[in-house]
Each structure stands twice: as C-alpha cells, then as structure tokens.
Structure 1
C-alpha cells in the first residue's frame, strides 16, 4: 500500500478540522475518564485533546494512513525527558517497596544500571524501529525527537544524563527522603501502579490519579502524599490535591485532620528539594469540586455523554500559540509542512 505524503485525509490547510470520514467507525466511544494530564491537554489545545482521546480511538485497527491510524500512533510517542521521568519514578518505587519490606535502600549503582538498560532499550527502538513502531505502536518505544527529527541533540542528551544521575543520587543519598517510610508500619506504606484509578462519587466517574507514594509515619500521624519530580515541578498543588482525593475516596484513607502534601524535586538543589503543605478537608472538598467541574467541561464537548461520542471535529479548535504546536505530538496532522518524513516513507511498509 502506498500513501502519498502526507496522507490525503490530513493534507489540509493549517487549522482546518481533522476529518473523521476515514476513521474506523464505532457505535461507542472509549471509556470516559478524567485525569490531571487530560484536563491540562484540554486547556492547552482542544484539537490535540480530540485527536488523543477520540480520533485515536481504535486506531490500532483503522486502515493504514487514515487520521485515526495516524493519531493512534502519534499518541504513543514519548520524549527523552518523559522517558527519563518514567525511569526515575520506577527507581523511587523500587526504593519505597524495598524499605517497606525491611530491606536496605538500593544503591545508586544498581538503580543506575536498571535505568540505563531501560533507556538504552527505548533509544534503540526509537532509532531503528520505525516500521516496528507503526505495526505495533503499543509495544515499541518511539521518541518524538526521532520521528520528527534526527533524535535528541547533544545538549538534550547532557540534560537527560544530568537529570537521571541527579535524581538517582538524591534517591539513594538523601536519607531524609525516606524517614517516614522507615518509621511507618509496612501496611502504612502504599505504592500504587502508575495506571491505578478510582471512581469519584457521586457519579462514579473514573479518575486516573496514582500518588507516587503514600505513607503514614505513625499511627497518630497524618497520611503523607508524595509526588516525586524529575523535571520542572509545575501544577504541583492541584496534582497533590487530586492525589489526596484519590487516597481518601479510592483507598479509604483517613483524612479527617487533612493530609500532608509533599513534593520532592529530585533534580533540584539540596536546599530546594522538598516542599510540604497541609491539605485540609476543605482543600479536598474544593479539589473534588474542581474535578467534577472538569468532567462537566469535557462532557460539554460530547454529542452523546452516555456513549462518550464527541462533537464534530470542528468543535475542537486548535491552539493559537505556535509554541504549543512546536512540542505537540500531533503537529504533523495539523500542519502538513511538519508531517514527519520518516512516517511518510514507512506507512506503506507498515500495512499488514
């Protein structure tokens, strides 16, 4: 199968709505859910939100080269900083689980070897595996930097190494990070799967919000909600409050006296690494209301809420700030001049 660059259903003027005629038809949309990242994407760009959560739905089985097929694959892109962040969070989870089980804190060398293996594997897949990625995008790592360019430059690589090394050294040398875990009973140390979710009352909306670490240092202490950051700590209070709501509503943890929110900027300077804030019950109620308001804003863009079917594509206006587009995985769909040449050449070979 040969597809001209770019595919015909995305070759349009910048800003025009992405047509849906060629996408795989479905009587029901994807399962509706809410998350902080989904809400941020909606605020940043409605077009990207539509492409990510609706056009990409069932794109794994859509005809090759259609908008749905492409959107599904572009949604699977990651970046080098994100890949480093995942490796750091896995290392933090390893530390917490090991300490909670009574073991010693893992060494920097052990964590670094595991992280390096993960990152090197992802790098090789992204560099060499464009055809494999198009065939099995859920199983093959692809970096935005490789699909849209020639890979991360030397400066980006240096930054990634610095963040990785600084974060792992902080995890393994700053004992104060783990004081609460060492004092807590094993059952009072909770590390969740990254895709853990709960149902928010009263409507039972699925909310994805997995705190990095939940600890109650003593039976008479407040629960601590920890968010580890390997990059710039943006939106930290909203994220902490969402995690606290998840802990209370999804896990049933006691929050009558509030909770302690804790942001750990692992790659930051020692004096600015950790920030704590009291999250009161009033704060948690306001956060729950904010989530429900966010759900309402998303529902307003649906023509059928029960089946989670979106309005027409032109209801989802693209961002107007060029800086937003420069870092968007879907920029090749909205701006034909940015359509990745590596994707054009490989579409045909990816067809079954």
Structure 2
C-alpha cells in the first residue's frame, strides 16, 4: 500500500544537481514544495508547484518525443524486424507535438485540474503563443532527427551485429553510494558480445555540450557497481547527435569515474545544507532557498508565476 509521507525520499541525480546549481528556489519547488501536490487535500502552494512541475517546453517536449519514438522503433525491430519509414516517423513526431499544442491552447482548464494527464507548454502558458524562432528550430530538428537516427552508428549496430545482448532502455535505474540512492536514466545500453564491450548510448536532439561526457561517466559508474562490469576497458560510451547525424565515442578512464564520484559527494553536501533534518529529508523554511541572481533564467523557469507571488 502506498504510504503518504510528509517529506520525499532523499535521492540524487544529475538533473537534481543542475537544478540546485541553477536556482535554489527552483530546487525547493521541484523537490520539496511540490511533494504531495497531487493530493486533493494538499495546500494550495503544493498543488500549484506540482502543476508547474508538470509543465514542459518545446525543446524538452521534442527531445522526449524523439527518445520515446526511438525506444519504440528499436524495441519493435528487435521483436519483429520491421523498420518504419522516415516519413512515418516524422508524422508520429508531429502528432505528439500537435497534441501538446492543443492541450495547451484549448484544454488549459483540464491541465490545471489534472496536470499529469494533460500537457502545458511553457511558451503558451506565459506568452500565449509559440515564438516563431523556436517553431523554426524545432521544425529544423524534426526534418533531420529521425533520418539521422535510422542511419546512426547505434541503429546500424542493432541491425547488423549478430552477437548482441540488449538491456532494458529508458527506464529508471538506481544505485547506492554512501547510502544515497542515485537515479539514472539511460537511453540505450547493449553489449557487443563479439567485441566484449558494453556500449552506453545517449541520443542528443540539440547541440553538443561540455556536460555530455560527464553524464555518460555516471552511467559507466552504474555498470561497474550494479552490473558488476569488472574493467573500465569493457565500457564504451557514445553520444549520438541527431541534429548533425554524427556521433562521438569515448573510452573512459578510472579518473573520469573518480571525478563524477567527487561531483556527487560535493553536490550531496550542498543539498544537505538546505535540510532541517537530514534523516527525514525535512527541508529548511521555504524562504531560506534563495532565488537566482541571473534574472534571464527566470523567463525560462516553470515556477516564474509562483516566484512573483511568494
């Protein structure tokens, strides 16, 4: 039976760390204030924070839609050998985007009542319309992403390599370090039996980022600790950039794993500074979480309306 607790379980993820670094007040809304906000008898602030937590934006929506579609295509190919055409895949992406647009424009009241069942785009909620430059950028990505996926290094491996072991993709995985649960979401993981390698794949729908390698190092740490992969030499990490149709493959070192472990340790200490009771994960008073000094970040934040009210 599900137990309603006054405070959420403490856990760590790279996205949680990024949120705290971006804005402690946003971090409070995302991981504490919104807790239990789905309950009908929760307070107004918790319900509002939960609703805004469920808000998305055009770039995130597109990336999520692409990841879900790739997962579906690979899974279906493994089971049936069938590969949809690029035009069909593009149409399925458009359908997902159009559905979110309609929710945002004509079903806003339903989203307010059931934010977990309807979608709201940040751009429409705060500005009423989608900015044309964003629409043009997403259209550019849509025109090339699925075609580049179909010819990607990873999907070519899926089709051509015979000795392969597939691991469940795009699901929450976790491990414990120093008693802290760490959540990890891998896009795709498979083992090339012939080469004796584990390949961790991350699909990117935007431009290259300095942080891309960091994220995959965390995944490699998961393989060593949970799947008991003995040698770092057995692990290959790969970013597939769907916007350009290119990929980058890395062979990590133990130093890379040590750095991500060090980042985790420092991040947990920073998070714990905002706790009244560490064992219960009880946060300090809401007002002790400062707002960011970088005001430009506020325009992109889901919780902008709440910050103007409280």
- Unaligned 5+ segments in structure 1 are 1-25, 340-352
Mapped pair 1:176 → 2:149 = no
Structure 1 residues 168 and 313 mapped into 2: Cα distance closer, same or farther (>3 Å)?
Answer: same
Matched ranges for 1:71-90 at <5 A: 71-90=49-68
Is contact 1:91-1:168 (8 Å) kept? no
Tell me if structure 1 keeps the 8 A contact 2:190–2:199: yes
1:190 aligns with: 167
Q: Distance in 2 between matches of 1:102 and 1:293?
A: 46
Alignment of 1:5-84 (within 5 A): 28-61=6-39, 66-84=44-62
For residue 239 of structure 2, what is the aligned residue in structure 1?
263
- What SS is found at the alignment partner of 2:192? coil
More strand by share: 2
Give yes or no for contact 1:260–1:279 (8 Å, CA) kept in 2: yes
The equivalent position to 1:327 in structure 2, one of 287, 292, 300, is 300
C-alpha contact 1:35 1:208 (8 A) present in aligned 2:
yes
Deviation at 1:198, TM superposition (A): 1.2
The answer to whether the 8 A contact 1:35-1:209 is kept is yes
User: Aligned residue for 2:203?
Assistant: 228
Relative to structure 1, the CA distance from residue 276 to residue 138 in structure 2 (aligned partners, 3 Å threshold; closer, same or farther) is: same
Q: TM-score, normalised by structure 2?
A: 0.90
Greater Cα offset, 38-47 or 163-172 = 163-172
Q: Tell me the number of residue pairs that the alignment of Structure 1 and Structure 2 aligns.
A: 305
1:154: Cα distance to partner? 2.7
Larger Rg: 1
Residue 11 of structure 1 corresponds to which residue in structure 2? none
1:105 aligns with 2:83: yes
Pair 1:253–1:185, CA change in 2 (3 A) = farther
CA RMSD of superposed structures (Å) = 2.3
Q: Comparing 44-53 with 122-131, which one deviates more in the overlay?
A: 122-131
Separation in 1 of the partners of 2:206 and 2:85?
22
Rounded to whole Å, the distance in 2 between the matches of 1:140 and 1:84 is: 16
Q: TM-score normalised to the size of structure 1?
A: 0.80
Return closer, same or farther for 1:259/1:87 CA change in 2, 3 Å cut-off: same
Gapped regions of structure 2 (runs ≥ 5): none
Distance 1:68 1:126 in 2: 21
Q: Secondary structure at the match of 1:223?
A: strand
